[in-house]
Chain A
Amino acid sequence: MSVHARVPQAPPPGLRRTPVLQPLRAAVPSGAVEVGHVYLIHPGALPSSAYTSGLVQEFEPSVGVSVLDLASLPDYWGALDGHRPARLEDLVEQLWSELRTHQEAQPCRFTLVGWSFGGVIGFELSRRARSLSGFRGLVLLDSVAPIRKYKQRDDALDRKMLMRWFVMYLSARRGKVIPERLPFGPRADDELLAHVLKHAVASGALAEDTPIEGMHKLHQAFLAGLLRNNQLSGAYRPAPLDIPAVLIKARRSLVPLGRHMGWKELLRPAPLRVSCPGDHYTLLTNRTASRTVAEAARDMWREPKKAAPAEALGGTLREANRLP
């Protein structure tokens, strides 16, 4: 590699743009009442189609489901590699505009659901969304709270840990199981990537003729997205919110954290916690997690939005998968 390519300052004119708000199912038939709406705040990494085969199926046809896709925001893309820094609050404002317009056109009860970094976005979006009468609460899917204790500089992130996350991501992305065990001891990224490539090919996750350069690019793009989100969270200074919330943790999350993944500092009352099988990435397609999200949303729509979680969210979630 000899030269760094210039990063475009703005998308070329005429570029097809995927809508920021994308319905994942057909609209409720005319004359019928939409009993509720779920807005999935998606931060990329995995395709938003992951929700279609899982979560969407858990809701009855009278429930609307839409994705608020961060990956459709040019500012989110432009923030990759740090060339066009963005502010988390500015990204949220763009999503808020879409959400508000959608609710103004068809007001109804709604719940925000955010996976991973999407949960952090969902938290800040909730600050605005609570001004709408339909807002009922926030569901966090294996999302780490952006509190000081859990913030790390980019150069403090452990390389091998990042490589294990990459393997986890690639496995979920390709629907195959790639062993996460890495060679013992300090190793250069090149050596680790060659090891991962070998096992990714053996598992069928990648084609046999996938070159190491392709693996490098996949890894580079994965890290670029992760570091972008780390930087966005790092610069964000959130104030606590009083909203109903549920935290669904993956049993194999990315890092072992406290019971509330930091959200107890930011959410009042503290979110109800549920544990689901799978890892951080397979959580999106895991049936138990999808059912849990659907149940959490229904519970929020049944109860007054200002009630504490123990009353607002009902007994269903508390009885299933109770965390210590």
Chain B
Amino acid sequence: MEIAQTSSLNPAVPSDVQRWLVEKIAHRLKVSEAQIDMEKYLDEFGLDSTEALVLSGELEKWTGTELESTAIWYYPTISTLSQYVAERVTQAAS
């Protein structure tokens, strides 16, 4: 799946945030999306803290919501991070 298709995703929907993250991480690691386990800790993907922070910056731009540096530490899996980000986007909009 092309990264360009993430423009159709809704950052207020957890499953869409998950999809965005899976695509980005698969692209960064040069693996297929099927290999990305959403319950795995981000550092277990071989994504070091530098790469995780770069990803966090891209996520902020996409969602329009600033994420604290601690967010990735407190929500270190795609599954939990997606839920958190979607909640924040929803709260910001309401």
Contacts and interface: CB of A to CB of B under 8 A. Distances in A.
Interface string A200-223: 000000110011011111101100
Contacts of B41: 16
A225 to B, nearest CB: 8
Interface stretch (A74-82, A123-131, A268-276): A74-82
B36 to A, nearest CB: 18
Indicate the member of A83, A221, A224, A225 with the most B CB atoms within 10 Å.
A221
Interface residues of B, number: 29
A214 B88 contact: no
Given A12-B75, A16-B76, A218-B50, A80 B57 contact: no
Interface in B34-56: 41, 48-50, 53-56
Given A47-B49, A214-B53, A221-B53, A5 B58 contact: no
B40 to A, nearest CB: 11
A47 B48 contact: yes
Interface in A1-55: 1-8, 11-12, 15-16, 47
Contacts of B64: 1-3
A174 interface: yes
B57 A77 contact: no
A77 B49 contact: no
A213 B66 CA distance: 11
A5 B67 contact: yes
Given A12-B80, A47-B48, A78 B54 contact: no
Contacts of B69: 80-81, 217, 220-221, 224-225
A15 B76 contact: yes
A319 to B, nearest CB: 39
B2 interface: no
Nearest to B68: A7
Interface in A174-213: 174, 206-207, 210-211, 213
A209 to B, nearest CB: 9
A174 B75 contact: no
B71 interface: yes
Interface of B: 28, 41, 48-50, 53-58, 60-61, 64-71, 73-76, 80, 88, 91-92
Interface of A: 1-8, 11-12, 15-16, 47, 77-78, 80-81, 83, 170, 173-174, 206-207, 210-211, 213-218, 220-221, 224-225
